[in-house]
A = this chain, B = another copy of it.
Amino acid sequence: MSMTRQWVVAARPIGRALQAGDFQLETVSTGEPGPGEVLVETQYLSFDPAQKSWMENVASYMAPVEIGGLMPGSGGGRVIASASPDFAAGDLVIGRTGWREQAIVAGSELTRVPDGVSVTAALAVLGTTGRTAYLGLVNVGKPKAGDTLVISGAAGATGSVVGQLGKISGCRVIGIAGGPEKCAWLTEELGFDGAIDYKSEKVRARLRDLAPGGIDVFWDNVGGDILNDALGRLAVGARVVICGGISRYNFDARDPSMPAGPRNYFNVVFTGATIQGFLMPHYEAQYPTADARLLDWVRAGAIRYKEDMLAGFENAPLALMRLFEGGNFGKQMLRVA
């Protein structure tokens, strides 16, 4: 009987940072693919902050995650055996594998890696990350040529794609990121018009300098003071996309030490601005359009991306934790073997 290793959820990290003991490594029987199913050798895992909220069972759009159950997540690799008419051994695929070295997944839940594209690109810039950036920007941010687009967490996986999509749309793009290396990457390699290093600069004052006419579109991955500063600089009719809130994820909503909400929310009254959350499943009908456009842009080099690769299946929890410490630079991935 073939065996595989998997990570299961051992504890819910509610109101605190993730810790090693929240995960447990198990060895279990791999099993055989049933009708329509596919056995995948997971070569890469991809990490998103939302995975912490899945462990907390606060994301209503996800099936509940049980204690002792498989840690959910996206992965990609090679098909070993297939009982699905759509896949054959040797195919490269991505999907919701969970944190397993070998995963049995319904064929209907898998996507083939496009020709000429790496498994990791398919997982990230052409996967959930790119879809989030494209669908959120088009549907919620609604950029127009000449708009000033400001992004927090701009050097992150999603933020960096949002900024490049903004440039394609003819926006002036300002990124907020932590440290000179990330800021230089934004302006020198990705073509951002400006960058603000929140670790060494006053965000509010710099926004005044760099967005003198106000912010037309603000894409937030961070929350806290940075969101508040941006809300203080909105232009009339501005659109604020709430995509994430990395400053909040280690707090329980009822915890008094939770960062306060943005006082400047009230500026929407003076600007008629909109603050809207991005909820991916609302835009499912647009997935094929998003995927096709992203593939074209990536192939043409119009969208560039960076991967931060850890190695070794045993390091999966560490890879997820890095997201909450600003430790990664580029999309956090893990090479399984």
Interface residues, chain A, CB within 8 Å of chain B?
58-61, 223, 228, 232, 236-237, 242-245, 248, 253, 258-279, 282
Contact = CB atoms under 8 A, between A and B. Distances in A.
A324 to B, nearest CB: 16
Contacts of A271: 60, 277, 279
A292 to B, nearest CB: 23
Which of A59, A248, A265, A273 gathers the greatest number of chain B CB atoms within 10 Å? Answer: A265
Give how many copies assemble into the complex. 2
A258 B301 CA distance: 48
Given A270-B279, A273-B277, A265 B253 contact: no
B276 A268 contact: yes
A219 to B, nearest CB: 13
Nearest to A243: B269
Contacts of A270: 58-61, 277, 279
A245 B248 CA distance: 25
A220 to B, nearest CB: 10
8 contacts: A60-B270, A228-B261, A260-B263, A267-B277, A268-B276, A271-B279, A272-B276, A272-B279
Q: Of residues A59, A253, A266, which shows the largest number of chain B Cβ atoms within 10 Å of its Cβ?
A: A266
